[in-house]
Each structure stands twice: as structure tokens, then as C-alpha cells.
Amino acid sequence: MTGTVIKNTGSWYIVREGDGRLFSCKVKGNFRLRGIRSTNPVAVGDVVDFIDNGDGTGLISEIRDRRNYIIRKASNLSKQSHILAANVDQVVLLVTVAHPETSTTFVDRFLASAEAYRIPVLLVFNKTDLYDEAQLEQMRLLMNLYSGLGYQCLACSVLRGTGMEGLRDMLCGKTTLLSGNSGVGKSTLLNALIPGLDVRTDEISLSHDTGQHTTTFSEMFDLPEGGSVIDTPGIKGFGTFDIEREELGHYFREIFEIGQGCRFQDCTHTHEPGCVVLEAVADGRIAASRYTSYLSMLDDKDADRYRKGY
């Protein structure tokens, strides 16, 4: 039988077969021995072959070829990956300027990984109802920065409903991965998109202005207008996986474009003579925050900086 994984609960996977029936599945014993360096060899969104045990359970025997996936370094095993989702049309990265603050380093790391796997990203700036004028100006500056690089940006207040119609239009008919730091409002957004879903939400910690983990496992939800959203647990840091140092500049759009003019083909854009990227940083054509993110990712092979929660 064939179906789509719609929920990962750790050792069990909920698989939806073509006629809508749900099966609680485990992977076959030899499945993990096939060179998959991942904490979760089966991900939500995967199309899998499975054996029906006849009692509502099954054994996953094969993963069909993935159209794409988005991956990050596992937070507890530095040499393994964690697949956030597979076979998606786009990602909505929910970010907040405050309550809590999403760092540009986190955003840039996520964008670079999505670029590596050719997955479009929509940046949704949430909680506009909570921002003072200085924070709204900071949001506008960030939206100008990322939209100038070709990323779609949308400002909204899920709580008040502003910007939601535009977001629904962008989600309709597509499989979307929803991601972001803890506390940015992913669960509140899901409840707004899917009436009656009632995903649990928690208040922001007043003492640290940080979010609490409310989603434990990844799960796919169908949207009333068509399409689906894959919800993932909130993440603090985003360690990139399987991106070589010499390739990294390709996944920062402006660095790749400007870097074509560098004197050396293998320029790392850190110290080389004739590096036009360094000149562009110095004169403001490349944002300092973006270049800082690029440097932090270059350092990943030498230090476990992703553990610190950017």
C-alpha cells in the first residue's frame, strides 16, 4: 500500500492512504541501516510504501523519491540531520521583531538552507499589533531588505486578523511547511487558518520574552480552501547541514550575484584580494547583517555555534 506521512510521533508515523484511511506505522527493522544519516529517516510529507497489518497498523518498507525536503543539523547529534518536512511547495517562516525577537541570523540560515533545496520561502512578520513605532520601523526595514532580495514578505497580526486574507491566498492549493522560533505564533496561526482545530497555545514567558514549546511533533493539517500546512515544533537555532564552505555563497542571493566579479573563482569572501563582496559590504550594497550570517555559517565546521540558539 502507498500513503502520505501526515504525523510523526517519534517511533510511530501516521500514514494516510489514498482513500483517506489512517494507519499507525513503524519502520521495518532494517530500514535505518540504509545509510540515512538522520534522526528521523521518515518525515511528514513523505510518500511511503507500507505493509497493512490488518489492524490499523502497518510497517513502512520504502520511501518514494522525494521531490524535495528541508533539513537542518540535529540539535543533539552534530553529525546527523533532522528533516523538517518533505515534498513541500513552499515554506512560511513566521518571524517576530519582538515578543520574542527573531534574529536575522536565524532567518538567514533558514533562507540559505531553503535556497540549497530550491524551496520558495514566504517571510511572514507576525504580531504587528504588539509593536511600538520603533519596532514597526525595524520590521519595515527588514521587509525592505528581504523583499529587495526577491523574498515575498507579508506583515500580519494573527490575533487581530490583519493580513490573513493575503496569507490564505498564498497557501491555497499548496503544501506549506510552517516554521519559526518558539513563541512566534505558529499554533495561533493554525487555529485561525483552520476553524475548530484548537491547537494548544501558551503565553510568552514574561521573564525572558521567549516562547514555550507547544508543538511536540510535526503534523500535516488540511486547509479548508485546499492545500495543507505542515506544523513543526518551534526551533531555537538552525544549524545548516550538508552545505560545503565553497558552496555557501551560492545560497546568499546577493553574495552569489556580486561574487561573480571576484578575482578568484574559489573566493571565500573573507580576506582575498580583489574580493568585490567585501567591497559591497563596505559600501552598504550587501547588508552587514547578511554578511555576518554568512560568516557564522562558514564557522559551523569549526565550532558548534548552532547549539547556542541564534
Q: What is the pLDDT along the chain (310 residues), one digit of tens a residue?
A: 999 999 998 789 999 999 999 999 999 876 654 555 666 789 999 999 999 999 999 999 999 999 999 887 765 545 567 788 999 999 999 999 999 999 999 999 999 999 998 999 999 999 999 999 999 999 999 999 999 999 999 999 999 999 999 999 999 999 999 999 989 999 999 999 999 997 766 554 444 444 444 456 889 999 999 999 999 887 655 555 567 788 899 999 999 999 999 999 889 999 999 999 999 999 999 999 999 999 999 987 544 443 333 2
| Residue of 307, 233, 297 lying closest to 268 (CA atoms) | 297
Domains of the chain: 2-63 (2.40.50.140), 69-231 (3.40.50.300), 245-308 (1.10.40.50)
Calpha distance 289→190 (Å, rounded)? 30
- Residue pointed to by grid coordinates 559590504: 281
Residue-wise pLDDT for 102-158, tens only, equals: 999 999 999 999 999 899 999 999 999 999 999 999 999 999 999 999 999 999 999
- Helix extents (H) in 28-157: 104-116, 133-148
pTM of the model: 0.87
- How far the first Cα of the chain sits from its last, in Å, is 42
Q: Residue 158 contacts by C-beta under 8 Å, 6 or more apart in sequence? A: 126, 127, 164, 185, 188, 189, 192
Instruction: Report the amino acid identity of residue 267.
Output: C
What is the H or E stretch that residue 119 is in?
Answer: none
Calpha distance 292→249 (Å, rounded)? 12
| Residue of 281, 220, 229, 231 lying closest to 254 (CA atoms) | 281
- Hey, how many other C-beta atoms are within 10 angstroms of the C-beta on 289? 15
What is the H or E stretch that residue 232 is in?
Answer: none
Q: 135 in helix, strand or coil?
A: helix
Q: What angle do CA 125, 128, 131 make, to 5 degrees?
A: 120
Distances (CA, A) of 205 to 92, 99, 211: 24, 9, 6
Concatenated DSSP letters of 9-36: -SS-EEEEETTS-EEEEEE-TTGGGSS-
Q: What is the largest CA-CA distance in the chain?
A: 67
